[in-house]
Amino acid sequence: MSAIEGLTGELRRLPGIGTRTALRLSYHLVKGPKEDIRRLARALAEVAERIRPCSRCGNYCSSDLCSVCRDPSRDRSMICVVEEAYEVGAIERAGRYGGLFHVLGGRLSPLDGVGPDELDIGGLLKRVRDPAEVPKEVILATNASVEGEATAVYLESLLRPFPVRVTRLARGIPVGSDLEYVDGTTIAEALAGRREVREDA
Amino acid sequence: MSAIEGLTGELRRLPGIGTRTALRLSYHLVKGPKEDIRRLARALAEVAERIRPCSRCGNYCSSDLCSVCRDPSRDRSMICVVEEAYEVGAIERAGRYGGLFHVLGGRLSPLDGVGPDELDIGGLLKRVRDPAEVPKEVILATNASVEGEATAVYLESLLRPFPVRVTRLARGIPVGSDLEYVDGTTIAEALAGRREVREDA
């Protein structure tokens, strides 16, 4: 049984997976075809060997520059700053952004021991200063949490000396949601950010 | 990104893990130390190479016979029949059973295409008939679900010709639970199975 216990122990280290789920997953894998286990092991090994952060934006990729940074059709005048690399995917799936990204690798969170030095802020400033990149706009797409807001405020203060437009994603009512279930702070933000219905008028 | 997508796809095949959870897990693994990924991959490979069902009871083990079947201190006159191998662990953890096990590998469920031939019923009958094992009691510890009950009823009918006591785990109020939250069927079973408070009297 020790191999199953070993696997259960490894699975339990993953976020959101407790002892029972880890056990259930282990036994599911053991019960299924061996090939399924081997495929998962290979997929993990592949990620361990091949995935690294993009040397420019910090997005994950399997070469020196990520596919976004290498894509000549992307708009190089915009940098969208996100906390984590998986948020690049969330924005890409929305299909409305054609610029570049910059991954901070987290958010300012003094209680968790995350200060400016733990984030890739130096890389962002280097890109803003870089005459080869010359971004016109930096979109601060950190999360709408207390830490995400604090990070955005801090970045804005650092970016102020540069001739670059600094924006933040709009706050408001999520599409498809009922007002009844939207919290007061969001409604207040949505009111403050209200827009003319006929903007073209 | 394709290595991450590959890993996400493999993780999504696991039970209870949807696209978002699979993505979150993939990125968690990518963000952490490579050694964590490699250790998980090794634990999986270990399970794929070493774990097999016990040739006698169907419990998972890394040799021909499982640790329970090999243990000379276990009471060989009792066989506890469970649906899945992980239920052996649940009963072992209770620490009150010293007999042997038999793993069916599922439960009768015609809607899912699981009939008697899909379960290791032949192995159980062989053990009951085996003059070397001579079990005195078979405990049907299939689950308290409709399929588990049907499986128990079916097994009982097959075991009736043999000189073996066939029992079923008691139904009743789970220890530590409030009557208020216990469903009516369970209360009815607990009433039907009520016991004298002073059994020794």
The alpha-carbon gap from A91 to the nearest alpha carbon of chain B, in Å, equals: 14
Identity of the amino acid at A70? R
pLDDT at A188: 84
- What is d(CA A179, CA B184) in angstroms, rounded to the nearest whole number? 39
Q: What DSSP string describes chain B?
A: -HHHHHHHHHHHTSTT--HHHHHHHHHHHHHS-HHHHHHHHHHHHHHHHH-EE-TTT--EESSSS-HHHH-TTSEEEEEEEESSTHHHHHHHHHT---EEEEE-SS--BGGGTB-GGGTTHHHHHHHHH-TTT--SEEEE---SSHHHHHHHHHHHHHHTTSS-EEEEPPP-PPTT--GGGS-HHHHHHHHHT---S-TT-
pLDDT of residue B155: 96
Q: What is the pLDDT of residue B200?
A: 57
Q: Which of A10, A44, A104 to mutate to test the interface with B (most CBs of B within 10 A)?
A: A44
Tokens 């090794």 belong to residue: B42
Contact by Cβ (8 Å): B10, A38: no
Is B15 at the interface with chain A, CB within 8 A?
Answer: yes
Q: Decide if pLDDT at B201 tops 60.
A: no
Q: What is the mean pLDDT of chain B?
A: 90
Of A132 and B5, the structure prediction assigns the larger pLDDT to B5
Measured in angstroms, the CA of A157 and the nearest CA of chain B are apart by 28
A89 neighbourhood in chain B, CB within 8 Å: 23
* Per-residue pLDDT at B160: 93
pLDDT for A140 equals 94
Of A10, A50, A46, nearest to B47 (Cα)? A10
In this complex, is the C-beta atom of A29 within 8 Å of any C-beta atom belonging to chain B? yes
Å from B21 to nearest chain A CA? 9
Predicted local confidence at residue A45, as pLDDT:
92
pLDDT of residue A199: 57
B67 at interface of A, judged by CB pairs closer than 8 A: yes
Mean pLDDT of B85-93: 88
Q: Give how far B41 is from chain A: nearest CA, Å.
A: 4
Whether the predicted model's global pTM rises above the 0.90 cut? no
User: What confidence tier does B186 reach under pLDDT thresholds 50, 70, 90?
Assistant: confident
Average pLDDT over residues B114-125: 94
Instruction: Work out the average pLDDT over B107-134.
Output: 91
The average pLDDT across B88-101 equals 90
pLDDT-derived band at B189, boundaries 50, 70, 90: confident
Of B6, B28, B62, which is closest to A3 when you measure between CB atoms?
B62
Q: How confident is the model at residue B199 (pLDDT cuts 50, 70, 90)?
A: low
A26 contact B CB<8A: yes
* ipTM confidence score: 0.72
Nearest CA in chain B to A27: B86
Which chain A residue's Cα is nearest to B50? A3
Q: Which residues contact A127 (CB under 8 A, 6 or more apart)?
A: A56, A79, A102, A133, A135
- Per-residue pLDDT, A2: 76
Contacts of A14 in chain B (CB under 8 A): 25, 28-29
The three-state DSSP-derived secondary structure of chain A is CHHHHHHHHHHHCCCCCCHHHHHHHHHHHHHCCHHHHHHHHHHHHHHHHHCEECCCCCCEECCCCCHHHHCCCCEEEEEEEECCCHHHHHHHHHCCCCEEEEECCCCCEHHHCECHHHCCHHHHHHHHHCCCCCCCEEEECCCCCHHHHHHHHHHHHHHCCCCCEEEECCCCCCCCCCHHHCCHHHHHHHHHCCCCCCCCC
**Which residue, among B11, B44, B52, B82, would best test binding to A if mutated, counting the most A CBs under 10 Å from its CB?**
B44
A86 and B1 in contact by Cβ < 8 A?
no
Of the two residues A123 and B1, the one the predictor is more confident about is: A123
Mean pLDDT along residues B58-79: 92
Tell me what pLDDT residue A189 has.
84
Q: How far is B73 from chain A (nearest CA, A)?
A: 18
The residue length of chain A stands at: 201
Low-confidence ranges of chain A (pLDDT < 50): 201
pLDDT(B109) > 70: yes
pLDDT at A200: 57
Residue numbers in B near A30 (CB within 8 A):
47, 51, 60, 85
Tell me which residue in B17, B28, B40 faces A15 most closely, judged by beta carbons: B28
Residues of chain B with pLDDT > 70, as a percent, come to 98
State the burial class of residue B163 (Cβ atoms within 10 Å of its Cβ: 0-12, 13-18, 19+). exposed
* Average of per-residue pLDDT across B63-86: 93
How does pLDDT run across B135-150, given as a tens digit for each residue?
999 999 999 889 999 9
For chains A and B, what is the number of CB pairs under 8 angstroms?
Answer: 137
pLDDT at B179: 81
Is the CB of residue A129 less than 8 Å from the CB of residue A162? Answer: yes
**Within 10 Å of residue B80's Cβ, how many Cβ atoms?**
22
